[in-house]
Amino acid sequence: MKKVQSTCNYCSLACNIDYIVEENKIVKVIPTKGYPVNNGFSCIKGLNLDKQHSVYKANPLPRIKKEDGTFEHVSWNEAFTYTANKLKEIHEQYGPESIAGISTGQLTLEEMALYGHVMRNFLKANVDGNTRLCMATSVVAHKQSFGFDAPPYTLNDLELSDTIILIGANPVVAHPILWGRIKANKIEGKKVIVIDPRYTETAKRADHFYRLKAKSDLTLLYTLAHVLIEKNWIDAAYIENHTEKFEEFKTFVKEFTLDKVEEKTNLTAEQVLELATMIHEGKAVSLWWTMGINQGYEAVRNAQAIINIALMTGNMGRPGTGANSITGQSNAMGSRLFSNTAGLYGGGDYDNPVRRQAVAEALGIDESWLPSKPTLPYNAIIEKINAGEIKALWVLCTNPRHSWINNETFKEAMDKLDLFIVQDIYDDTDSSEDCSVFFPVVPGTKKEGTLINTERRLSAVRPALLMEENEMTDFNVILNVGKALGMGDLLDGWKTPQEVFEKMKKCSKGMPCDITGVDYNALVDSKGIQWPFKEGDTLTENERRLFEDGQFYTPSKKAQFMFEAVTENPLQLTEEFPYVFNTGRGTVGQWHTQTRTREIAFVNDAVSHVAYVHINEELAKDLGIKHQEMIEITSINGVTRRFMAMVSDTVAYNELFAPIHYIETNALTPSVYDPYSKEPSYKSTPVQINKVKGA
Ligand SMILES: Nc1nc2c(c(=O)[nH]1)N[C@H]1C(S)=C(S)[C@@H](COP(=O)(O)OP(=O)(O)OC[C@H]3O[C@@H](n4cnc5c(=O)[nH]c(N)nc54)[C@H](O)[C@@H]3O)O[C@H]1N2
Ligand SMILES: Nc1nc2c(c(=O)[nH]1)N[C@H]1C(S)=C(S)[C@@H](COP(=O)(O)OP(=O)(O)OC[C@H]3O[C@@H](n4cnc5c(=O)[nH]c(N)nc54)[C@H](O)[C@@H]3O)O[C@H]1N2
Ligand code: SF4
Ligand SMILES: [Mo]
């Protein structure tokens, strides 16, 4: 019997888990005691990490689609040669920009970095990640406001805050262990406040719930700022010493008066005043946001409006404070910093000559190998496939046929591609079923590498199980495609996860995310370690927050007030499409496109097997719809899908909520993005409801 401590590779908390292993079988899964994130607890997904490949498992050999449309399993060598030859052909005939990749926030940082090296440095292809669907808004907001993509908090701040404001976040379902930290907060008179259009599982457990109109956060937050300024409930010294552009912001928010707020947000002047008073009276106020903010048509400004509230009230850098973006996937943070997609390894723009030189030296390559510009964003990649300009796509550890916005456009793209490579642990996902090359890989229980969680904590993934015959890791698939492409000595120092980690450490030197002091092997059986951790640093605390000295990463070292006029949602409700179709996580047990969590029998037995929407009781009555009746929903994008109506007290009269775990949901979401982050606006689609004829 042996014990292997590893990291849960579902959500961004990246809890640690002890696997008890006997004869290459996991016989017990125990949440690691003493690990700072989850200290002996985990959710049902973490407890069932051993279930992957228990019911569904792909043939361990790769699969190729032949000219006549039939499929064949081939040897790994044959698949690598076939894929590399096809990629080279397309590269030669149509140029590097005819190849693209979609990476993920759910692989290890070493796998992402290697993929970025093969695809971006060597092939000069565009590679975006599914993190675009998730964290792109926070990335842009942080960069502009703080000077670097740096979430300031440590999870312990949840236990040190007397006023916790959750905006567009439903941690009871999406981050249960984080919710556990809120419950563990023993401060007397502590307030938990939820701002959401939906009376969520979290709102039901909160002290205050503000049901705002969908996508009206910006008006609410600017009005709040205005009230705080009017009442002089601001921290003038903090603003003076640590921020810039406050005077402009103050003038800008003057027009956001309380008398106008109700019409725009559905919240009364009294409610907004009450919220402002709680912020004023709180000694340690923390504001937390997730996808209700990140996924919107003016999302970056929304995130920054939250940051502005924290800055102007001096709720930054002190215990229990902060404007805190919660990440989604286990390694979204690793993907943001080390995937070579939107910026250089370790951060910094591709047009920064000093950083280019430093990164090239760290990698031991000529600077000209580095990409000259950021990748095309996800939406542009799909548009270019559909325009016939991109011919080859390699997707790994994501399932875009299901999760991409307006997902019929991805179906169209799949049909257009000359070469569609999918790398997944299952060969029957919506994306992989019909692809030209399928690379089957082993799940996280057989892999080695590093993840970075929502509070910037690096932790070790280590294999609990040995590989079986013909099995392959993500790392080795990418490495072998690189070899078959002829990368030769460009792969020196990229041959093992540890070698890649050492390169990434070097790339991070001198950057805010400096990890030069982290020892790859010392991460094993440890408490993890938050960045920054420089060479020579000694660890005195397991929980560290940023900006305690009031110094930010901008050239002036001051945080920036960022703001812009509120704009109309490009998709307005109309007489024909009078209801808002909101989307998000349905249950704790279900993970995104449900490929993995379908293997947890307890979850699979308990959840709906047909797509469903929550509908308000009054609305259901008015439309003559019964609980669990099948209804048709038509979106403003012209697509109609069937859902089961679930009468619920969680949604307002003119709003519906559909979990994302069913492919029908994103058939209805039209292609709308934030202008700066290009993150999809997934949560406010105008729709119509119809009874199914003859039902
Ligand atoms: N069980 C489970 N857990 C998960 C995941 C999963 O699939 N399943 N996925 C993980 C990932 S990758 C992510 S990104 C996180 C997401 O975690 P969350 O963001 O917490 O989850 P969502 O349900 O997408 O959205 C949160 C809330 O935003 C609200 N919202 C919608 N529109 C608005 C608006 O205009 N304003 C405001 N203020 N709120 C709005 C929704 O009603 C919803 O309650 O969860 C992670 N955890
Ligand atoms: N309408 C709407 N749509 C949304 C959202 C929303 O709130 N509303 N949220 C968006 C967000 S925040 C996110 S993060 C995305 C998530 O969307 P996806 O990334 O598409 O969802 P997953 O189901 O997590 O896909 C991961 C895939 O990787 C596979 N996999 C698991 N482990 C491994 C591994 O070790 N290696 C490899 N190669 N594959 C593996 C799984 O089987 C699965 O097919 O969805 C987005 N879509
Ligand atoms: S809370 Fe997140 S990281 Fe922790 S066990 Fe659950 S899914 Fe895994
Ligand atoms: Mo996400």
pLDDT digit string (tens) for 597-611?
Answer: 999 999 999 999 999
pLDDT band at 695 (very low <50, low <70, confident <90, very high): low
252-277: pLDDT as tens digits:
999 999 999 999 999 999 999 999 99
Instruction: Report the mean per-residue pLDDT for the chain.
Output: 97
The pTM (predicted TM-score) of the whole model is 0.98
The CA distance from 614 to 378, in Å, is 30
For ligand 1, say whether the CB of 138 is within 6 Å of any of its atoms.
Answer: no
pLDDT band at 507 (very low <50, low <70, confident <90, very high): very high
Three-class SS of residue 256? coil
The CA distance from 512 to 532, in Å, is 6
Topology (CATH) of 579-691: Barwin-like endoglucanases (2.40.40)
Tell me the CA–centroid distance for residue 70 and ligand 1, in Å: 39
Other beta carbons less than 10 A from residue 307's beta carbon: 29
CATH top class, domain 152-325: alpha beta
Looking at residue 58, its pLDDT comes to: 84
Share of the chain above pLDDT 70, in %: 100
Q: Of 599, 479, 541, 689, whose CA–CA distance to 50 is shortest? A: 599
Identify whether the C-beta of residue 141 lies closer than 8 Å to the C-beta of residue 303: yes
Question: Among the CATH numbers 3.30.70.1280, 3.40.50.740, 3.30.70.1340, 3.30.1360.120, which is that of 63-131+330-530?
Answer: 3.40.50.740
Other beta carbons less than 10 A from residue 467's beta carbon: 15
Looking at residue 300, its pLDDT comes to: 98
Asked whether the predicted pLDDT for residue 355 surpasses 90, the reply is yes
The CA distance from 359 to 370, in Å, is 9
Other beta carbons less than 10 A from residue 464's beta carbon: 25
Pocket test for ligand 1, best of 9, 218, 220, 290 (most atoms within 8 A of CB): 290
For ligand 2, say whether the CB of 398 is within 6 Å of any of its atoms.
Answer: yes
Q: Side-chain half-sphere of 554: how many Cα atoms within 13 Å?
A: 17
Q: Give burial (CB, 10 Å; 0-12/13-18/19+) of 574.
A: exposed
Tell me the CA–centroid distance for residue 258 and ligand 3, in Å: 40
Q: Of 596, 470, 411, 476, whose CA–CA distance to 73 is shortest? A: 470
The CA distance from 687 to 670, in Å, is 11
Q: Of 300, 113, 277, 281, whose CA–CA distance to 189 is shortest? A: 281
Tell me the CA–centroid distance for residue 104 and ligand 4, in Å: 10
Three-class SS of residue 594? coil
Q: Which two tokens stand for residue 670?
A: 């039209």
Q: Of 378, 425, 429, whose CA–CA distance to 402 is shortest? A: 429
Position in ligand 3 atom list of the atom nearest CA 591: 7
Residue 391 zone, left/alpha/beta (φ > 0; ψ -120 to 50; rest): alpha
60-107: pLDDT as tens digits:
999 999 999 999 999 999 999 999 999 999 999 999 999 999 999 999
For ligand 2, say whether the CB of 375 is within 6 Å of any of its atoms.
Answer: no
Task: State how far Cα 182 lies from the chain centre.
Answer: 21
Q: Give burial (CB, 10 Å; 0-12/13-18/19+) of 353.
A: exposed
The CA distance from 326 to 291, in Å, is 9
Other beta carbons less than 10 A from residue 411's beta carbon: 17
How large is the average pLDDT for residues 398-410? Answer: 98
Other beta carbons less than 10 A from residue 69's beta carbon: 7
Closest CA to ligand 1's atom 26: 169
Looking at residue 64, its pLDDT comes to: 98
Tell me the CA–centroid distance for residue 680 and ligand 1, in Å: 13
| Helix pair angle (474-484, 109-116), 10° resolution | 20
The CA distance from 307 to 595, in Å, is 36
Helix or strand holding residue 444 (H, E):
none
Q: Give residues whose Cβ lies within 5 Å of ion ligand 4.
A: 134, 328
For ligand 2, say whether the CB of 422 is within 6 Å of any of its atoms.
Answer: no
Nearest-10 Cα torsion for 568, 572, 574, 578: -120
When computed from its CA atoms, the radius of gyration of the chain, rounded to whole angstroms, is 24
Asked whether the predicted pLDDT for residue 554 surpasses 90, the reply is yes
161-208: pLDDT as tens digits:
999 999 999 999 999 999 999 999 999 999 999 999 999 999 999 999
Q: Of 463, 447, 451, 475, whose CA–CA distance to 531 is shortest? A: 451
Identify whether the C-beta of residue 124 lies closer than 8 Å to the C-beta of residue 94: no
What's the CATH code, domain 2-51? 3.30.200.210
**What is the DSSP secondary structure assignment for residue 263, as one 8-state letter?**
H
Looking at residue 693, its pLDDT comes to: 80
Q: Is the peptide bond before 532 cis (omega within 30 degrees of 0)?
A: yes
Tell me the CA–centroid distance for residue 325 and ligand 1, in Å: 12
For ligand 2, say whether the CB of 296 is within 6 Å of any of its atoms.
Answer: no
**What is the DSSP secondary structure assignment for residue 599, as one 8-state letter?**
G
Helix or strand holding residue 250 (H, E):
helix 246-253
Which sequence spans correspond to the domains of the chain?
A: 2-51, 63-131+330-530, 152-325, 579-691
Helix or strand holding residue 652 (H, E):
none
